[in-house]
Amino acid sequence: MTEQTKVFGSLVISLVMILSGLGMLMLSFDSEVSEIVEIAENPVEVPETFTVTEIEPMPTSLQEPIQMLQSGFIQEARQILRQCHEEHPDCALWLGISYFPRPHGYGESFLEAQPFLEDAWNRGNVTAGYYLGVAYFEALGVPKDEKKAIEYMRLPADEGNAIASLYLGHILMYGSNKNGEYAEAIQYLDAATNAGDFRAHYWLGIAYEYGKGTNRDWEKALAEYEKACIPGFAISCSRYSQLAYTLLPSKTDPLEIEELNAKNLTYMHKAKFLNDPDGIVLVALRELDYADQDFSPAEAVKDLLQVCESHKGCYCRDAAMILETGFLIPQDRIKAQTYFEEYGNHECGADSDIHKLKPERDRLFDSKDFTEIHTRALQNNKIAMSEIAAYLRIRSKQDPLLHRWIHRWSLLSSQQD
């Protein structure tokens, strides 16, 4: 799977504190940012008198509608906010948030939220810039405009808003500019971590792993992934495990190897517990490759099939091989071909030999010899499982993916029931 897909294939919704301390909001990075967008010519107008000190004191009564929003009493909260939004920009902000599309807000329409957010922005509420930036970056009812998104987002980020710093760092590193503005992105991500948003450590890990805006340093990347994983950012737990596998062969100190292995297992299981699809795949393949967990091969097979059905694309490669080889289940080569196409037509499988190797797979798995051996293997016949491994090893050609499954058949034949 490509890093771009991993990074954005499944991003997380979590609770964060906004700058004014008015309550809790939701953030989700769930959109691809690779497309080239047309940048609007009109810049964002920042009022000349834009200063935080000009914001009137927040009314104490504002705490009540915020709690109502968080508890699902949306209409009741709006009634209260409408009574104070003309006098207090904070009320205008929260009235806008009540209409702003979920998961960032509590409503369904940016167009309904827009006048209140712009009013709050024009009267000096910097947090409104975060929501306006999100709307233009994610095209929530307005044309996508990355330039406007950055301009709106920059002011709250510069004022110390952690979530704005995180989002702005994300845009600068993975926006439509193919080269990225990596150095500046790292500055904002650092600011987000300093303000307490642990998720920014994940993006810093990406920067260190791939040398974006800094020197490539896998040890630092691993440390950043760990900082985001420990508080519960699932995708960072999976990324730690994937990089740990890459680093392990270079380790020579037995204690260091033992520690890295232990963390690897701990974090991949945490990712699975948090329902991250990469974590589910990592745990399943670990069992099939090493059989060193309290986890059965049958459970691993079930998980790999389910994650393909749920997430498609890159997650269907191993599910296809399970159905193709009939690993612990009856063969279903028609469905296997569907999964192969799902994987091969996705960007993560675009450079694979999946399509080219179909004639080779047909030759191997349509034969009567394989069918006879496989029938006995499904009866938990360990000798037959070993014969499948030998059959495929002798007859298969240059297919690295199939060779991994040959190893798994061989390991399966040696396992105790």
Q: Which of 172, 193, 226 is the last residue of a domain?
A: 172
- Of the residues 148, 172, 196, which one is the last residue of a structural domain? 172
Q: What is the mean pLDDT of the chain?
A: 85
State both tokens at 239. Answer: 């990324």
Between these two residues, 115 and 174, which has the higher pLDDT value? 115
pLDDT tens column, 129-177: 999 999 999 999 999 999 999 999 999 999 999 999 999 999 998 877 6
The CATH number for 106's domain is 1.25.40.10
Q: Does 206 reside within a domain?
A: no
Last residue of a domain, which of 134, 151, 172? 172
Q: What is the pLDDT of residue 23?
A: 37
pLDDT at residue 269, as a whole number = 97
Domain of 131 in residue numbering reads as 3-172
Lowest mean pLDDT among 7-11, 188-192, 343-347, 404-408: 7-11
Q: Which residues pair with 16 in a beta bridge?
A: 25
User: Which tokens in the block code for residue 236?
Assistant: 């960072």
The answer to whether residue 78 sits within a structural domain is: yes
Contacts of residue 394, defined as CB under 8 A and 6 or more positions apart, other chains included, come to none
- HSE at residue 353, side-chain half, CA atoms within 13 A, is 10
What pLDDT is stored for residue 386 in this prediction? 96
Quick one: pLDDT band at residue 355, thresholds 50, 70, 90?
confident
Does a structural domain hold residue 259?
no
In a domain, 349, yes or no: yes
Tens-place pLDDT, residues 168-224: 999 998 877 655 688 899 999 999 999 999 999 999 999 999 999 899 999 999 999
- Domain total in the chain: 2
What pLDDT sits at residue 294? Answer: 82
338 vs 353: CA distance, rounded Å:
15
The verdict on residue 271 lying in a domain is no
pLDDT tens for each residue of 282-291: 999 999 999 8
> Residue 47 pLDDT more than 70?
no
Q: Does residue 80 surpass a pLDDT of 50?
A: yes
* Domain assignment of residue 256, yes or no: no
Is 33 a residue whose pLDDT tops 70? no
228 lies in a domain? no
CB atoms within 10 A of CB 92: 26
- pTM comes to 0.79
183 or 239, higher pLDDT: 239
